[in-house]
Amino acid sequence: MFARNRMLRAFRAAPEIPFDDSSKIVMMSDCHRGDGSRADAFAGNQDLFCAALCDYYEKQYTYIELGDGDELWENERICDIISTYPTAFELLSRFYRSGRLYFLYGNHDMEKRKPGFYARKVVLFDEKEKRDVPLFPDINVYEGLTLRHTVTKDRIFLLHGHQADLLNGPLWRVSRFLVRYVWRPLELLGVGDPTSAAQNHRRKSTVERRLVRWAKKEKRMLIAGHTHRPVFPEPGAPLYFNDGSCVCPHSVTALEIKDGQISLVSWSNQSKSDGTVCVGRDVLAGPRKLSDYFGPVQAAPPPHAGVS
């Protein structure tokens, strides 16, 4: 019950973003950008992430980050993360300056919900001007967002997903303490964090069942992150999608909306026939017309994962 109530509150408070069949939207989450240490799961995929962002920027996509973009449980200072990944933050700032960036907060970057968080702390040194410049001046960070189709009026609800997780939702401060002062030192030695829904498969399945139950009961299309497990349902199943994460081994996953269709994609290093390596994009599921999903949600088997 706590999960449904928290998700309903987030849904009712979520601002609406209009879109139509000409819109291009990409959703990613769970980057967990860190300080470059051994515990930083993003470090190995930073080039894939930046290559994907460059491609989406050039192709006029709107970028929506569904929470846990930055690892603020293990790291207390956002400025340490920015100095570690200046290219990634410059790209994100470019999206923002063009009016094509939205941030949601997750349990690992809950601090972003504080008014003025980015205005106070998020700056990058400009070599040309020789001064710090704000990356995201006046940006709002949301718990949830709703995409509303301007023609059909159909709605897609976006949130991180920790709202369905007791340990990482209402008890997030306890979990943050354990991660920062207990599990992070152990993680540096190779021990996994059992509080994480991404690493604990039993807890991951519990969270997914709650998200599926909400989408089915409310008869709404739901896109979330948090579990790090991509999900792309067939039409007729409960409409729970998951964009995966940016810390998969050797790959970054995302959900794309383009031409009125939705796809699950993966970015990874790929070898060319001449032996050189490049960053390539693979479609894991879809594309499917959004119109195939809207309407009454029927009883059906649970959604299948696009990748594990």
What 173-179 contacts at long range (C-beta under 8 Å, 24+ apart), as own/partner pairs, is 175/73, 175/107, 176/73, 176/110, 179/73, 179/74
Peptide bond into 303 cis (omega under 30): no
**In this model, does residue 141 exceed pLDDT 70?**
yes
96 inside domain? yes
Query: How high is the pLDDT of residue 171?
Result: 63
Tell me the CA distances in angstroms from 205 to 88, 132, 176, 302, 305, one per residue in order: 31, 44, 21, 11, 11
202 inside domain? yes
- CB-based contacts of 279: which residues, under 8 Å, 6+ apart? 47, 48, 51, 52, 267, 268, 269, 270
302 inside domain? no
Mean pLDDT of 208-219: 93
**In this model, does residue 299 exceed pLDDT 50?**
no
pLDDT tens, position by position, 251-262: 999 999 999 999
Q: Give the pair of three-digit tokens for residue 177.
A: 């303490």
Supply the CATH number for residue 280's domain: 3.60.21.10
- Pairwise CA distance, residues 285 & 82, whole Å: 33
Q: How confident is the model at residue 226 (pLDDT cuts 50, 70, 90)?
A: very high
Query: How high is the pLDDT of residue 308?
Result: 30
Q: How confident is the model at residue 167 (pLDDT cuts 50, 70, 90)?
A: low
Q: How confident is the model at residue 3 (pLDDT cuts 50, 70, 90)?
A: confident
- Pairwise CA distance, residues 295 & 176, whole Å: 40
What total of structural domains would you count in the chain? 1
Cβ atoms of 243 and 29 within 8 Å: the answer is yes
**In this model, does residue 296 exceed pLDDT 50?**
no
* Residue listed under structure tokens 């739901």: 222
- Pairwise CA distance, residues 117 & 119, whole Å: 6
Query: How high is the pLDDT of residue 150?
Result: 95
Handedness of CA 202, 204, 207, 209 (dihedral sign): negative
Task: Give the H/E segment covering residue 145.
Answer: strand 144-149
- Pairwise CA distance, residues 145 & 56, whole Å: 20
pLDDT tens, position by position, 108-123: 998 898 888 877 667 6
280 inside domain? yes
308 inside domain? no
304 inside domain? no
pLDDT tens, position by position, 48-95: 999 999 999 999 999 999 999 999 988 888 989 999 999 999 999 999
305 inside domain? no
Q: Give the pair of three-digit tokens for residue 175.
A: 């979990």
Query: How high is the pLDDT of residue 169?
Result: 58
**In this model, does residue 303 exceed pLDDT 60?**
no
192 inside domain? yes
Domain that holds residue 135: 2-292
**In this model, does residue 170 exceed pLDDT 80?**
no
Tell me the CA distances in angstroms from 46 to 41, 86, 88, one per residue in order: 10, 11, 8
